[in-house]
Structure 1
Amino acid sequence: MDPLRGPDVATRLLRALHAGAAASGTAFEVTETVSRPWASATFSGEQHHLVIQADPIPGFRSWLAALPDAELPLRGHILADLAIDMVEQVGSRLRVTIAALTLIDA
């Protein structure tokens, strides 16, 4: 992390996800994060691949169902897209794969 710029957008995204889950009375653990630069003819940003795990409680399921439509604050960036790619039961927990696209807010 660059101390002059603050946390990168992947860190901001994870913080926003944790805050949203906490506000819904639930929590999750991050088991994998991969971010890579992304650009089109008019926009630039990052693609994010996240894997999280949580207990399959109703609050988590509700938060997860609402997540693709959630507005997450990401200083200096916009969450352009977020999709739940996979939800699977692993033992007693849910393993969730999330894909997100963040754009630089110019």
Structure 2
Amino acid sequence: MIARRFERALLRDAVRAGVSLVVEHGRAVAWHSATFSGARHELVVSAATGSTLDAWLTQLPTRDVTIPGQIVADLRVATHARYGERVMLRIEGVTVACDLSAPECGAASVRARSDRRMPPPTPACNDAAPRDRTR
């Protein structure tokens, strides 16, 4: 499901820019650090060559691709190969969970509830927590 959300968000952004992508393959691998959780994404797509595609690809690392509850980071074209009027691209990106609306301050994302795991609190949670003033 995580890979599908990334795929749909990227396709929406491409359509807004006037680019028509065909998804050939996609996958996501979950990752976790001490303070964050998310996924590394790889999407193989094909598209017709042209100036619109070139402009979109040039702007890709700085585009604001939105996925509710996620921050899309490190979006880039890893490889590309031209075949006549078509180009094959491997687009990679990283998503980071950013649901801070839960009382546990990020610990109750939809994915965390569904698989019964609780990610650690985010740095924003630590900043928002009341300070112990008895010491």
Amino acid at match of 1:35: A
1:21 maps to what in 2?
A: 14
Percent sequence identity is 32
Contiguous gaps of at least 5 residues in structure 2: 100-135
Which of these two proteins has the greater Rg computed from alpha carbons? 2
Structure whose residues are more often strand by fraction: 1
Distance in 1 of aligned mates of 2:74 and 2:36:
13
Q: CA RMSD in A?
A: 1.3
Provide the aligned length of Structure 1 versus Structure 2: 99
- Report which structure shows greater RCO (CA 8 Å, sep ≥6): 1
1:87 maps to what in 2?
A: 80
Q: For residues 1-106 of structure 1, what are the structure 2 equivalents within 5 Å? A: 8-106=1-99
The one-character-per-residue Cα deviations of 1:46-105 (angstroms, maximum 9, x if unpaired) are 111111100101111111111111111101111122121111113431011111110111
* TM-score w.r.t. length of structure 2: 0.68
Amino acid at match of 2:62: D
Contiguous gaps of at least 5 residues in structure 1: 1-7
